[in-house]
Structures are given as structure tokens and as C-alpha cells.
Amino acid sequence: AEDVQRHADAALYEAKADGKSRRAWFDPAMGARAWARLDLEHGLRRALEQGEIELAYQPIVDLRTGVIAGVEALARWRHPERGVVMPGEFIPVAERAGLIVELGRFVLQEACAASVRLGAVAGGGPVPISVNVSARQIVGADLVADVRFALDRAGLGAQYLTLELTESVMIFEGERTDQVVAGLREMGVRLAIDDFGTGYSSLSYARRFPMDELKIDRSFIEGLGRTGEDAAIVTAAIAFGRALHLDVTAEGVETADQATRLRALGCDRAQGFLFARAMDEAALTAILAADGMFALTGPASRLQAG
């Protein structure tokens, strides 16, 4: 009887994971997947309580100078048995388990505090920092209050924080989304359209919401210099951003040729493996303390003294 109940639970979990109004029949592989998900869910609850979630930081580089213009904060889960679990694996679990708002609050608070710490090392003001925001944080929590608390707790000016919104976030029509965006703008927080170009309505959302930055999706950068279609999309995206007076950042830049082409097209900033993978705070601190800047013509290991 216990096995039957366990198998039924596994089938139910599988059906829920695939969407509402779904039927699922148990098979052994399904049971393994379901229990793996449940294990991750329970582990994630523990991770939030015991401080196993940490942030990594990927530099965002000014394409004209090679200077670090800011960083993007990315969550990592340092699992006691599995090692580092990447966000692509645990973020969907957090969404399903109703933990994404709590996780988002932690990332906001830690990112704001890190901005101030990194700025002190660099000898200037806080380091501008970008944080990804989920749809559930927009519609299911008081994001404006959460952001204000994180800024106040860290003593960080709102202008140093950028919230990255994807189309899946902005697709929620209605008064609630408009109020949240208006509240963030009034506070002085910067807003960025993330993964620009991947959705059919990216252009309309960019016009509807007052934004500060446009981030071109890595899928188009990969084909830059190889396919005319991707080059045309990137060129159009940069022109669109400049027409709206937005900062334009290219994601997933991996080669010097891509960086050169982007710079020639008028792209402002870039991030990707050409410059650096996401790193822990200690590694980023070492770069900032050395007053280093990234070379624009070689791999990430080529750092020049500033």
C-alpha cells in the first residue's frame, strides 16, 4: 500500500510539473524524477535557512574602455553533497515550491550589500549591480517594499541597482504590473529589458514600460559575424535602444570579433566569457583592488593594469 501511495504521489508531482489539467501514469523513471525534484525542493528550503545560497558576479564591461561598468549578480546553491547547483536547475524548483519570492529577497539584500562592499574596495562609489526579477516577485509580493528594504539596509542609492525584467515578467498586463514598475521608477531604481529579441512583443514592452537598459540575448550574439539574420537583428536592436536613449548591453560575448563588431555598431557594454565567467566576491574584489580592466581583444585571462 505504501508503494502504491508513493507511486501515485510521483505521478501527481509529474503531472503538476508539466502543467494543469494533465494526466500522468506512473513508471519507474517518473518516480526517480519526482523524488529527485522533491529532494531538491526540501534541500532548497534548508539552503535558504542555513545560508547555502550564495552569489556570483559577472562583470559588465564598457566596450569603449574595457573598464568594469557594473556586475550582474547570479545565485548559486552550494549543496553540501552535490557541490554547486546552477540556477537553471534550482530556480524552477523554487518557482514550483513557492520559494522564489523568499529567494529573490535574499538575492536583492545580498546584492545591494555587495555593491557597497565592492565599491569600498574600488575606492569609489558603489559598484552598479544588476539583479534578475521573476514574474512571481512582480505579481505575488510587494517588490517595491522589498527593494526599498534592501537598499536601506545596505545604505545603497537606488541609482546603483538595476532590475532585469524578461518578457515573461512584463507580459502580465494590468494595474498591478504598472503600479510596481511605477513604484520602482519613482524610487530611482534602473530597469532593464533582459533577453531582448527572444519574444514577439519585446518592442511593444520596451515602449510601454519606461526602461533604462536593453540587454540583447546571447542567442543573437552567437551568430554575429556568421549569419546575416543575427547581424541584422543585433544591428536593429542597438539602433532601437539608441533611439529610445537606452544603454545597450550584449550578453554572451565570447570572441574578440564579436566585441569588435558590437563596438562598431554602437553597443555600449558587454558581458560574457571573453571577459570573465561569473566569479565569487573574493575574485572580483581582487580585480577591483588591482584597478584592473579587461582587454577588449583577447580572452578573460588577459587583464591590463588600469
Confidence of residue 306 (pLDDT cuts 50, 70, 90): very low
Reported as a single tens digit per residue, the pLDDT across 208-247 is 778 999 999 999 999 887 878 889 999 999 999 999 999 9
| pLDDT recorded at residue 199 | 60
Rounded to 5 degrees, what are φ and ψ at 302? -90, 95
Q: Is pLDDT at 39 greater than 90 in this prediction?
A: no
Q: Whole-model pTM above 0.75?
A: yes
| pLDDT recorded at residue 228 | 84
Q: Is pLDDT at 4 greater than 60 in this prediction?
A: no
Confidence of residue 297 (pLDDT cuts 50, 70, 90): low
Task: Give the C-alpha distances (Å, rounded to integers) separating 69 from 30, 77, 94, 204, 213.
Answer: 46, 26, 30, 28, 13
**What does pLDDT average to over the chain?**
83
Using CA atoms, how far apart are residues 270 and 196, in angstroms rounded to an integer?
14
More confident residue, 180 or 123: 180
Contacts of 292 (CB under 8 A, 6+ apart): 303, 304, 305, 306
| pLDDT recorded at residue 141 | 75
Domains of the chain: 1-50 (no CATH), 52-305 (3.20.20.450)
More confident residue, 295 or 112: 112
Using CA atoms, how far apart are residues 75 and 251, in angstroms rounded to an integer?
17
Task: Give the C-alpha distances (Å, rounded to integers) separating 177 from 80, 98, 143, 169, 187.
Answer: 38, 19, 10, 9, 16
Reported as a single tens digit per residue, the pLDDT across 130-157 is 999 988 888 877 999 999 999 999 999 9
Reported as a single tens digit per residue, the pLDDT across 186-199 is 999 999 998 887 66
Secondary structure class of 60 (helix, strand, coil): strand
